[in-house]
C-alpha cells in the first residue's frame, strides 16, 4: 500500500511538473498551430479552443482529464495523435537501448570487478582510462568516427537507419519491434539487416554506459573487498574466485540493479545525438524535431513518457531487490 501511494504521489508530481514545463516554455502554442500570418480572430478562436483563456487551475484539471483518457492532442508536425506517433517511434529506441544496455552491463560489470581486484595495478589503470574515455568522448563524435571507420572504411556494419533501404516496407508492422516483426513474418534477410544496422550505434551507446557501470562496480567492489567477512573467507581458505564472485559481487547485485536500471532509462531518453547521427527513427529524434518547431503537445507528452519510464524502471528495481536480497521480502 505504501508503495502504491508513493507511485501515485510521484505520478501526480510528474503531471504537475509536465504541466508547468508546458506553460513555461518560451513557445506560443497558438502561433505554432495557426502560423504567423493568421488573423487576430483566428488566433483568438484557437486560443479559446485550447482553453488558454481559463484560469490555470482549470487548465490543469482539463489536462488531468485528457491524460486520464489518453488524449494527448494532435502533433502539429505529423497531423497524427501524439500517442500514435510515440507508439510508432518508441520501439526503435527500445531496441537500440536494449542492445546497448546488454553490451554496457555485460562489459562494465566484469571490468569493474577486475579493476577492483587489481586495485592500483596495471589492469586497474587500463580499465580506468577506458572508463574515462567513455565519459569524455562526445557520442556524436564517436558516432561519426564509427560510421567512417566501420561502415565506410571496413564495411563491417550497416550504415544509417534501422535496416537497408531495400527492405523498408517489406515487413508488416505488428509490434513495432523490427526484430520481432521480421521474425514473425519469416523475413530473415530483414532480421539480419536490422541486426547489422543496430550493432554500431548500440555498441557506441553501450560503451558510454559501460564506462559508467564500470566505475560504479569498481567502487562497490572496493567497499566490499575491504569488509571483514572477505578477510575471514580468505583466511578459511576459500578460493579467490568464490570469494570475489559469490560473496563480494553477490552483495553488490542490489546496487548494480539500480545502476543498470538508471543507465537503461538514460539510454531510452538520452539517445538523441546517436539517433541523429545514424538517422535512427526513434523517440529521441521525434522529441528533438518537435521541440525545434514548438509542437508542445508532442513535447509535453514526451516529457511525461520519460518520467513514466523512470518510474517504471524504479518499480522494477524494487521488485528485483526482493529477488536478489531476501531480507527485503519481509519488509
Closest by CA position to 204, among listed 97, 129, 301: 97
Q: How many of the other CB atoms lie within 10 Å of CB of 77?
A: 17
What tens digit of pLDDT does each residue of 2-58 get?
Answer: 666 777 787 778 788 877 877 776 666 676 666 666 677 777 777 777 777 778 777
Closest by CA position to 74, among listed 32, 36, 40, 42: 32
CATH code: domain 91-278 is 1.10.3720.10
In what helix (H) or strand (E) does residue 51 lie, and over which residues does it extend? none
Tell me the percentage of the chain whose pLDDT exceeds 70.
91
> Where residue 324 falls among pLDDT bands split at 50, 70, 90?
low
Asked whether residue 104 carries a pLDDT value surpassing 80, the answer given is: yes
- pLDDT value of position 120: 85
Least confident interval from 24-33, 41-50, 303-312, 314-323: 24-33
Distance, C-alpha 115 to centroid of its chain: 27
Average pLDDT for 120-128? 89
Amino acid at each position: 500500500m505504501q508503495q502504491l501511494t508513493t507511485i501515485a504521489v510521484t505520478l501526480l508530481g510528474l503531471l504537475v511538473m509536465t504541466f508547468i514545463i508546458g506553460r513555461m516554455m518560451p513557445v506560443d502554442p497558438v502561433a505554432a498551430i495557426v502560423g504567423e500570418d493568421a488573423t487576430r480572430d483566428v488566433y483568438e478562436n484557437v486560443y479559446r479552443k485550447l482553453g488558454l483563456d481559463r484560469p490555470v487551475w482549470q487548465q490543469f484539471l482539463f489536462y488531468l482529464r485528457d491524460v486520464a483518457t489518453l488524449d494527448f492532442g494532435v502533433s502539429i508536425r505529423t497531423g497524427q495523435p501524439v500517442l500514435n506517433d510515440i507508439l510508432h517511434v518508441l520501439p526503435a529506441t527500445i531496441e537500440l537501448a536494449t542492445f546497448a544496455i546488454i553490451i554496457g552491463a555485460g562489459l562494465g560489470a566484469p571490468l569493474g570487478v577486475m579493476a577492483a581486484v587489481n586495485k592500483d595495478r596495471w589492469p586497474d589503470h587500463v580499465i580506468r582510462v577506458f572508463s574515462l574515455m567513455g565519459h569524455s568522448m562526445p557520442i556524436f563524435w564517436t558516432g561519426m568516427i564509427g560510421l567512417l571507420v566501420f561502415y565506410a572504411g571496413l564495411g563491417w556494419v550497416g550504415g544509417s537507419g534501422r535496416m537497408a533501404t531495400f527492405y523498408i516496407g517489406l515487413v508488416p508492422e505488428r509490434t513495432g519491434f523490427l526484430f520481432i516483426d521480421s521474425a514473425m513474418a519469416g523475413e530473415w534477410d530483414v532480421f539480419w539487416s536490422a541486426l547489422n544496422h543496430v550493432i554500431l550505434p548500440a555498441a557506441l551507446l553501450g560503451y558510454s554506459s559501460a564506462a559508467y557501470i564500470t566505475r560504479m562496480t569498481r567502487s562497490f567492489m572496493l567497499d566490499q573487498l575491504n569488509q571483514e567477512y572477505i578477510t575471514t573467507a580468505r583466511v578459511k581458505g576459500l578460493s579467490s574466485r568464490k570469494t570475489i564472485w559469490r560473496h563480494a559481487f553477490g552483495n553488490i547485485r542490489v546496487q548494480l540493479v539500480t545502476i543498470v536500471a538508471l543507465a537503461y532509462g538514460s539510454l531510452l531518453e538520452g539517445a538523441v545525438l546517436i539517433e541523429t547521427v545514424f538517422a535512427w527513427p526513434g523517440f529521441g529524434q521525434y522529441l528533438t524535431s518537435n521541440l525545434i518547431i514548438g509542437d508542445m503537445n508532442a513535447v509535453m507528452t514526451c516529457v511525461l513518457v520519460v518520467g513514466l519510464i523512470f518510474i517504471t524502471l524504479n518499480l522494477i528495481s524494487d521488485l528485483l531487490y526482493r529477488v536478489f536480497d531476501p531480507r527485503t521480502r519481509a519488509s
